[in-house]
Amino acid sequence: MSVFPPSGRVNNSPGESFSAEGFANGDFSPINGLSGYKGPIGLTGVFLGEGVSPASPGILQNFNQGTSFSSLSPQLGQVFFVGDGLTGNGTGNPQSFIAPSGATRLYFGIPDGAFFRGVPGNYEDNGGSFGFFAQVTPAQPPQIGGGNPPVPPGGPPVSPPPGTPNPPGGGGNPPPNISIPPGNPGGPPVSPPPGTPNPPGGGGNPPPNISIPPGNPGGPPVSPPPQPPNPNASALGNGVIPDVYLRVVQTVGANIRQAETPGNRFFDVPNGNLGTFYNLPAGGVLANFPNGTRALDGNDTVIGSAANDVIYGNQGDDSLRGEAGDDNLLGGRDNDILEGGAGTDYINGNIGNDFVSGGDGNDYVRGGQGNDILSGGEGADILIGDFGTDTLTGGIGPDAFIIRSSVEPNPTRDLADVISDFSSLDDVILITGSFTIRDLAIEASGSDTTIRTLSGNFLARVLNNTPGRVQESLVVIPENSPILTL
């Protein structure tokens, strides 16, 4: 699990508030099956299973001595420091928190107590809140197949201690400084005639001048056939898309031509594998396909189903709707309209000036190239403008607005991305780059705030917000952050 930098502030008593990185040094005792905690008074977490153990585990580590770890592996019930989820304070690389075996729940909270020591408590005068995103990456299952085959007979023997008598046929080493004729106990073995099979369990090299075909005992392993490169590997989740029954769709006037090919990955099926013509109403509309859909040329309308759909618009001005389910939508070329609908959707406008909307649910909304309009909808959404002059609207719920500083220079404020509904109470603005917040100018521009580099590259214009509110929820993350490769 990784945590993307929280926004907001919290106070343990009326007065000064603090960020997720916290302040002071706490030293709390165990309570109710949870471990003690030594560390800053900031954002912390704990993994739990189905129940809480009556015995509290020991303290994971003393976070008062540093919080720049790259990863943590807490046990169930061990309280750990989270902070802003980066190795530095507002800078550095994302930290990883590895869930223990049996974990089914994850809680976040703030440690508190009298003088920040002893038994936790004194929460009645706390105030404020943090808004943040936690990205959970499932553990990769063991890979079956694809490795080296078992060692076949014919491998090198294990050398016994010097002087060990040979088994029938020889095979041991002679005692030191004693010359023993071949084939006698303790001497070198008699070489079998060429072509004699090796005894079971190995014991020598293949007979001379005999070529063993790949895959047979004593021969080389069978090499798997080379896989052709996937030209769309960077399009959706680095090409990792579940196997689906693919339907290739092409608009031809009032007709749509389609084919169904089972057992292939979505992007790996050739365009030419087409089936029969089907007469549909004019306009090229395909509705309620519960699996994968790839449109070809033309202006297509593809409407998903209640299942988890994969829809690729390809060329043309397309309208793609995921409907219910957790959907993957990719616009392709030209100017597209993409709507995720309900569920946790991954949506990328790709090339062209696109309208990309997440709908209900926690969505990942990306513009790609061109001047795009992005809308998160209801839920905790991640919005990335990428190239061009984009407009980002988070909608209801805590949202993360990601502005990439490296994609193209914007010499004027009118070319910068626009964030239309930022709220410092629950939203966060993430700027990618190899600099710190001190290298940015955060300035008032009428009722808005502009963010630019000191070299004059305008990154974003935040509507109806003051520089102070923007700065307290602004974090710089690396350009290679995992959040950009979902």
Give residue 394's pLDDT.
94
Give residue 423's pLDDT.
92
* Each residue's pLDDT tens digit, 385-426: 899 999 999 999 999 999 998 887 888 999 999 999 999 888
How many other C-beta atoms can be found within 10 angstroms of the C-beta atom of residue 232?
16
Confidence label for 297 from pLDDT (cuts 50, 70 and 90):
low
Confidence label for 253 from pLDDT (cuts 50, 70 and 90):
very low
**Which amino acid, 261?**
T
Residue 331 has pLDDT above 80, yes or no: yes
Confidence label for 216 from pLDDT (cuts 50, 70 and 90):
low
Mean pLDDT score, 203-226: 49
Higher pLDDT, 125 or 83: 83
Confidence label for 446 from pLDDT (cuts 50, 70 and 90):
very high
Confidence label for 36 from pLDDT (cuts 50, 70 and 90):
very high
Give residue 204's pLDDT.
44
Contact residues for 330 (Cβ-Cβ < 8 A; gap 6+): 235, 236, 311, 312, 313, 348, 350
Residue 19 has pLDDT above 80, yes or no: yes
Higher pLDDT, 147 or 371: 371
- Highest averaged pLDDT of the listed ranges 90-104, 251-265, 352-366: 352-366
Residue 336 has pLDDT above 60, yes or no: yes
Average pLDDT, the chain: 74
Confidence label for 193 from pLDDT (cuts 50, 70 and 90):
low
Mean pLDDT score, 13-26: 81
Confidence label for 162 from pLDDT (cuts 50, 70 and 90):
low
Least confident of 91-95, 264-268, 335-339: 264-268
Give residue 194's pLDDT.
55
Give residue 311's pLDDT.
81
Confidence label for 234 from pLDDT (cuts 50, 70 and 90):
very low
Mean pLDDT score, 50-68: 86
Give residue 484's pLDDT.
81
Residue 322 has pLDDT above 90, yes or no: no
Nearest to 476 by CA among 453, 456, 444: 453
Report whether 365 contacts 347 (CB < 8 A).
Answer: yes
Instruction: Using a pLDDT cut of 90, give the percent of the chain over it.
Output: 34
Give residue 468's pLDDT.
92
Instruction: Using a pLDDT cut of 70, give the percent of the chain over it.
Output: 66
Give residue 265's pLDDT.
29
* Each residue's pLDDT tens digit, 338-351: 999 999 999 999 99
